[in-house]
Amino acid sequence: MGRNRRKPFIIEKLAITDLADKGKGFGKDEEGRAIFVDDAAPGDIVDVLARRKKKSIFIGTIQKFHTRSASRVTPVCSHFDLCGGCKLQHVSYEQQLAFKEKDVQNVIQRIGKVAVKEMLPIMPCKHQEFYRNKLEFSFSSKRWLTREEIDSGIPNEAQVLGFHPAGAFDKVIDIDKCFLQYEPSNFIRNTVRDIAIEQGLAFFDARQNIGFLRQLMLRITTLGEIMLVLCVHKNDQEKIQSILDEIIKRIPGLTSVYYCINTKTNDFMYDLDMELYHGQSYVEDRLGDVTFQIGPKSFFQTNTKQAEALYQVIADFADFEGTENVYDLYTGIGSIALFIAKYCKQVVGIEEIELAIKDAKENATRNNIGNTAFYAGDVKNILTPEFAKKHGKPDILITDPPRSGMHPKVVQMLLELEAPKLIYVSCKPSTQARDFEVLSEKYEVVKCQPVDMFPHTHHIENVALLKLK
């Protein structure tokens, strides 16, 4: 590699043997260096342009194919090469599932250092396309260009509505058809773009922090209800009314239309005031027997149908008899708690975000579920011996923490509580495995059920049943 250890270099005929972190292809060269390759599939033999990223990590891009993997498939999305949202769309779904299942097994063994009595086969997602109920799109006055377009001198000034590619906060890929969200998502997005262009509205320039239109958020539920949220940069009521009136006119069946005004330099919308412009203040979706009211800021599982399957796994692992006192940590809007409430005596949910707890209480009331109690606050501060004394020792404890896993204080409190059954739901099995190692002081991992919530991505959920030794 010469003196410049970061200078790119070519590796010829690299055999891709596996999928690795974030869905990159993985292979080792003749010197034993581990190379992670974008858009590669196990079975590919490729020439790779590689560079050292840090320490012993090398990142590569394919320059030439010698052999294409039998597990390769043609991506259905025309934006696949640029977007990066569905990174595994070029790999057969069977191969994706095999990768995810093995990944869960590996991290539990490597990080958790615990034995799992029964590792169940991964649960596939019935729908590999059009499975999300929520998406956010960005307006931009700068279009993301391919290398060929840049070399040919095509300017990137354009009025586009779509997704930011990884690492490009100021440019957007103009999306024609996305295969993630239920229809009529594509019709709505393209219609909104057309209206905005017709009305001569300025699309946002993130680098200069100028322009009018910033974001479009769509929620489309399995019950066919649609919420549209338009985020603008300035409180120009004439422009806001003009575009929203035309949207309502051209897009029939909108259940709820909001707008918000974001003058900040970041795109985070959930700290903004949401102004209801048209229709009702919420949309409805259903998980099992429970109907949820979902507002513009509500936290709700983005794959409704697969969430229902996931929650049924939790119920099956719990094997309720009807007398159980259940704690549900990191409860969000109480979706798990309300789903399982009919199976047990009581469910007590804890969640840090107050708005989510407000939603949980309202949804409990409207579904006539009277055996739940919800508390807002950091789990590590709420879950104390005094709390357990007030609400009774849990027979079953369910925890569904964020990707970072549980705070060490929470893990220690679980060891003190000694719930006979502990069901740990995780969207990042590596942090789940880390917590397994600490919990192994008193618990054994009886079984795990990986669940594919997001096809064509590297993300995976894992449900684990732990029992006191």
Task: Round to whole Å and give the CA distance between 453 and 18.
Answer: 21
Q: What is the DSSP letter of 143?
A: B
Q: What is the DSSP letter of 182?
A: P
Task: Round to whole Å and give the CA distance between 360 and 39.
Answer: 41
User: Is the preceding peptide bond at 184 cis, omega within 30 degrees of 0?
Assistant: yes
Instruction: Tell me the residue ranges of DSSP E strands in 120-184.
Output: 134-142, 157-163, 173-174
Catalytic residue selected from 77, 83, 344, 427: 427
Contact 256, 339 (CB under 8 A): no
Task: Give catalytic status of residue 427 as yes or no.
Answer: yes
Task: Round to whole Å and give the CA distance between 30 and 14.
Answer: 9
Task: Name residues whose C-beta falls within 8 Å of residue 151's C-beta, 6 or more positions apart in sequence.
Answer: none
Residue corresponding to tokens 């050292």:
52
Alpha helix positions (H), 325-378: 335-340, 354-366
What are the structure tokens assigned to 377, written together? 């606050």
What are the structure tokens assigned to 452, written together? 């594919």
Query: Which of the residues are catalytic?
Result: 427
